Amino acid sequence: MRIVHAGGLAAAAAAEGWVVVIDVLRAFTVSAYALAGGASACRLVAETADALELAQQLPGAVISAEESGLPVPGIAISNSPTMVRRSDLRGRILVQRSSSGTQGMVAARRADRLFAASLVVAGATARAIQAGAPPVVTLVATGEDRGHPEDRACAEYIEGLLRGCRPDLDRLLLPLRQSRRYRLLASGAVPGFPASDLELALVPDRFDFAMPVARDRRGLEVTALAC
């Protein structure tokens, strides 16, 4: 198995093989908590207008959205695992729009198979890939070109698991924890970004499912695959 690292949204468009699109803070952490909370699926879209239109077509659907990292007026749930955990999503679909993760997934059209990933499902993602034994896996750290080192840390963590070792995640996350951005997020001063989102997002392997992504006539659907 050849493992390729790629960073940023442009790299997602060029990614081939089995493609793992990573967004730790926070889109695919949100997806994981939604599915763990009983959501039947998550739907990923590029624009808020797309989310609003799609939600109207899906009875009982709930929207999670942010633009430029900030809440969207009129949408109660931002791109926040804390907010998602507090919501009753049992049997419902979560429609997601974010500035990195969902954009990277929409762009990844050359993939043979797609997975959404974050630290909370990293181990299960690695097990799903090992079970499929694809010749090429591309790990796309969507926020890498925006100075978000947690996505690269997750990619390196998944690579280590694929190679049969357990990387030192504390070391991998050190660039994030030492950053001004981390201190700002931990302060709780960013609208739509509760400080508790950090704790929820940065604990590895919280869930025992991977998140394969399928394309259909309505776009991209994320579901849980027990691994």
Domains in the chain: boundaries: 2-226
Task: Tell me the one-letter amino acid at 13.
Answer: A
State which CATH number among 1.10.1060.10, 3.90.1560.10, 3.30.70.20, 3.30.2010.10 fits the domain covering 2-226.
3.90.1560.10
For residue 146, the model assigns a pLDDT of 83
C-alpha torsion sign, points 185, 186, 190, 196:
positive
Helices 122-132 and 149-162 meet at what angle, rounded to 10?
A: 40
**CA Rg, the chain, in Å?**
16
Q: How far apart are CA 26 and CA 153, in angstroms?
A: 14
Number of CB atoms found within 10 A of residue 17's CB: 18
Instruction: Say how far apart CA 23 and CA 69 lie, in whole Å.
Output: 13
- According to DSSP, the β-strands at 70-71 and 136-141 are unpaired
pLDDT per position in the chain (227 positions), as tens?
A: 999 999 998 999 999 999 999 999 999 999 999 999 999 999 999 999 999 999 999 999 999 999 999 999 999 999 999 999 999 999 999 999 999 999 999 999 999 999 999 999 999 999 999 999 999 999 999 998 888 999 999 999 999 999 999 999 999 999 999 999 999 999 999 999 999 999 999 999 999 999 999 999 999 999 999 99
Residue with tokens 């750290």: 141
Indicate the pTM of the whole model: 0.96
Residue 131 is which amino acid?
A: A
What does the pLDDT read at residue 134? Answer: 97
* pLDDT at position 145: 81
pLDDT score at 195: 97
26 preceded by a cis bond (ω within 30 of 0)? yes
Pairing label, strands 41-45, 93-97? parallel
The whole-number pLDDT of residue 72 equals 96
Region of 188 on the Ramachandran plot (φ > 0 left; ψ -120 to 50 alpha; else beta)? left
